[in-house]
Amino acid sequence: MIKFFLMVNKQGQTRLSRYYEHVEINKRTILEAEVIKNCLSRSKDQCSFIEYKDFRLVYRQYAALFVVVGINETENEMAVYELIHNFVEVLDKYFSRVVSQTLNLLWKISFKALV
């Protein structure tokens, strides 16, 4: 099961977040900060799956934006990896050019895509 879906930039600012389980607001910010710290400290040739607390993070970097998905053990990590790419391709098709800025401004619509 997918627990959450985040798009965070390199400075740690959340561009998009969707939680599929209830998490307190203050906990969310802490979680996001820790997750992005974990992802930033990885080098390019390390694998994209990190074990964090009791779930796994699957992350993928697109220029200055990190897309991170938190899953539990029942999910196929590589399928989720593909899903992230699929999602970014969809956004790309829809907005004709995915850039961090554009993503923010058309945030409303990206959000809907996750629903």
Partner 1 sequence: MPAPIRLRELIRTIRTARTQAEEREMIQKECAAIRSSFREEDNTYRCRNVAKLLYMHMLGYPAHFGQLECLKLIASQKFTDKRIGYLGAMLLLDERQDVHLLMTNCIKNDLNHSTQYVQGLALCTLGCMGSSEMCRDLAGEVEKLLKTSNSYLRKKAALCAVHVIRKVPELMEMFLPATKNLLNEKNHGVLHTSVVLLTEMCERSPDMLAHFRKVSLVPQLVRILKNLIMSGYSPEHDVSGISDPFLQVRILRLLRILGRNDDDSSEAMNDILAQVATNTETSKNVGNAILYETVLTIMDIKSESGLRVLAINILGRFLLNNDKNIRYVALTSLLKTVQTDHNAVQRHRSTIVDCLKDLDVSIKRRAMELSFALVNGNNVRGMMKELLYFLDSCEPEFKADCASGIFLAAEKYAPSKRWHIDTIMRVLTTAGSYVRDDAVPNLIQLITNSVEMHAYTVQRLYKAILGDYSQQPLVQVASWCIGEYGDLLVSGQCEEEEPIQVTEDEVLDILESVLISNMSASVTRGYALTAIMKLSTRFTCTVNRIKKVVSIYGSSIDVELQQRAVEYNALFKKYDHMRPALLERMPVMEKVTTNGPTEIVQTNGETEPAVLETKPPPPGLQPATQANDLLDLLGGSDITPVIPTAPTSKPPSAGGELLDLLGDLNLTGSPVSAPAPQIAQPPFLLDGLSPQPLFNDIAAGIPSITAYNKNGLKIDFTFERSNTNPSITVITIQASNSTELDMTDFVFQAAVPKTFQLQLLSPSSSVIPAFNSGTITQVIKVLNPQKQQLRMRIKLTYNHKGSAMQDLAEVNNFPPQSWQ
Which residues of the chain form contacts with partner 1 (CB under 8 A)? 14, 16-17, 22, 25-26, 28-29, 43, 45-51, 76-79, 81-83, 86, 104-105, 107-108, 111-112, 115
- Nearest to partner 1 of 84, 96 (CB atom): 84
Most distant CA pair in the chain: distance in Å?
37
Contacts 24+ apart (CB under 8 A), 94-101: 98/62, 100/9, 100/15, 100/63, 100/64, 100/65
CB of 54 to partner 1, least distance (A): 15
- Nearest to partner 1 of 26, 96 (CB atom): 26
CB of 7 to partner 1, least distance (A): 11
